[in-house]
């Protein structure tokens, strides 16, 4: 085998870059947890000042700052020997209300690393790892990672893209948010449509406890949360809208979940299915976004489904595969209502 030395050097450059990114991910969670980014967003600081303001050790802070500057995550001024955040860096790392806030994603990475030993065994045995078996940082990180996208898109873009749904919710209806986690998506909708009653369901009891607390803290009274699986949540009088946000592909029985949606919808109801953006052909997902989604899917999504001997759709299932799931459950109408670089918003009707 002949080795092209130029190609080897290029590949090793990629390896070094990925090693730096991997170790840097751990340092991002440190900075997020200790409030270092939030403090730097206020203005340029030296290591002594940052340590004092955050009640941390200066020697650790100095090393962290230089690691972050080498990563391009913060800026360094050699003349003043101070570190700072650009407005763009602050949006991604310091402002939790920003539509591009990314710190939650690094918490998800932390959970994935903590599951690594279990994953290696699963590769050999074919067994899975249920959602609730992960480190709790996964649940908090998932909420923080997805919430900015929901805030930016759910009410102004996604719901209006569904046929007639916005008008129903403005008048007052009933909505089920299945697989709601900590309730971020539920509460975004409940605040926007106060005349509608929202019901969040999730099989993970600690997440439901967290969702109830989020609702209480936010003063939201038109949203309730209950522990229930995707195939047995109660319907009551039926729902005008059932929503699954970034969760159907994780489920052990997505077809069973889809059939239950159909049973619980009103005759003129709508199913909104939000899934990670993906092309149907794998090679078209071989890009930076697909890299993140395939990685998370390997570590979290596929194991969650296989824990229930499920279909293991994965986070890059694609519209064609999702259409098969939806139509096999008896839905007659299915379309892509809208999309973002990170999500497909699919609409299904009985």
Each residue's pLDDT tens digit in the chain (350 positions)? 899 999 999 999 999 999 999 999 999 999 999 999 999 999 999 999 999 999 999 999 999 999 999 999 999 999 999 999 999 999 999 999 999 999 999 999 999 999 999 999 999 999 999 999 999 999 999 999 999 999 999 999 999 999 999 999 999 999 999 999 999 999 999 999 999 999 999 999 999 999 999 999 999 999 999 999 999 999 998 999 999 999 999 999 999 999 999 999 999 999 999 999 999 999 999 999 999 999 999 999 999 999 999 999 999 999 999 999 999 999 999 999 999 999 999 999 99
C-beta of residue 245 within 8 angstroms of C-beta of residue 271: no
Residue ranges of the chain assigned to CATH 3.40.50.150: 114-349
Cβ contacts of 325 within 8 Å, gap of 6 or more: 248, 254, 255, 258, 311, 313
**Per-residue confidence (pLDDT) for residue 328, from 0 to 100:** 95
Residue ranges of the chain assigned to CATH 1.10.10.10: 5-95
Tell me which of 3.40.50.620, 1.10.10.10, 1.20.120.160, 3.30.565.10 is the CATH number of domain 5-95.
Answer: 1.10.10.10
**Per-residue confidence (pLDDT) for residue 1, from 0 to 100:** 83
Under DSSP, the state recorded for 285 is: G
- What one-character-per-residue DSSP string does 291-317 give? HHHHHHIIIIIHHHHHTTT-----TT-
- Nearest Cα neighbor of 223 from 193, 200, 195, 192 is 200
Entry pTM: 0.92
- Nearest Cα neighbor of 250 from 201, 301, 325, 311 is 301
**15 token code pair:** 């390896």
**Per-residue confidence (pLDDT) for residue 272, from 0 to 100:** 98
Q: Distance between CA atoms of 150 and 339, rounded to whole angstroms?
A: 13
**122 token code pair:** 């699963």
Q: Domain 114-349 in CATH: superfamily?
A: Vaccinia Virus protein VP39 (3.40.50.150)
């Amino acid at each position: 085998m002949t080795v092209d030395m130029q190609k080897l050097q290029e590949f090793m450059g990629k390896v070094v870059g990925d090693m730096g990114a991997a170790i840097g991910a751990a340092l991002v969670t440190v900075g997020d947890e200790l409030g270092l980014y939030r403090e730097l967003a206020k203005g340029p600081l030296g290591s002594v000042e940052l340590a004092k303001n955050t009640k941390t050790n200066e020697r650790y802070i100095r090393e962290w700052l230089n690691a972050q500057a080498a990563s391009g995550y913060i800026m360094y001024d050699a003349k003043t020997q101070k570190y700072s955040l650009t407005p763009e860096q602050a949006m991604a790392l310091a402002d939790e209300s920003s539509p591009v806030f990314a710190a939650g994603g690094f918490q998800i990475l932390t959970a994935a690393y903590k599951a690594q030993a279990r994953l290696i065994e699963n590769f050999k045995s074919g067994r899975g790892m249920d959602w609730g078996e992960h480190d709790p940082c996964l649940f908090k990180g998932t909420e923080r990672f997805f919430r900015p996208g929901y805030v930016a898109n759910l009410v102004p873009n996604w719901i209006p893209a569904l046929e007639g749904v916005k008008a129903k919710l403005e008048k007052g209806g009933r909505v089920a948010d299945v697989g709601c986690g900590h309730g971020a998506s539920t509460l975004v909708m409940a605040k926007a449509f106060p005349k509608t009653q929202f019901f969040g369901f999730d099989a993970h009891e600690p997440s439901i406890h967290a969702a109830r607390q989020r609702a209480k803290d936010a003063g939201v009274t038109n949203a309730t949360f209950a522990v229930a699986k995707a195939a047995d949540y109660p319907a009551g009088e039926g729902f005008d809208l059932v929503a699954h946000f970034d969760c159907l592909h994780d489920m052990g029985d997505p077809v069973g979940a889809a059939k239950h949606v159909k049973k619980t919808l009103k005759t003129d109801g709508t199913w909104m299915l939000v899934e990670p953006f993906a092309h149907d052909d794998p090679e078209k997902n071989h890009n930076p976004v697909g890299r993140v989604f395939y990685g998370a899917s390997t570590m979290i999504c596929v194991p969650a489904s296989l824990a229930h001997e499920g279909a293991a759709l994965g986070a890059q299932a694609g519209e064609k595969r999702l259409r098969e799931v939806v139509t096999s459950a008896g839905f007659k109408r299915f379309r892509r209502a809208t999309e973002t670089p990170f999500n497909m918003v699919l609409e299904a009707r009985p």
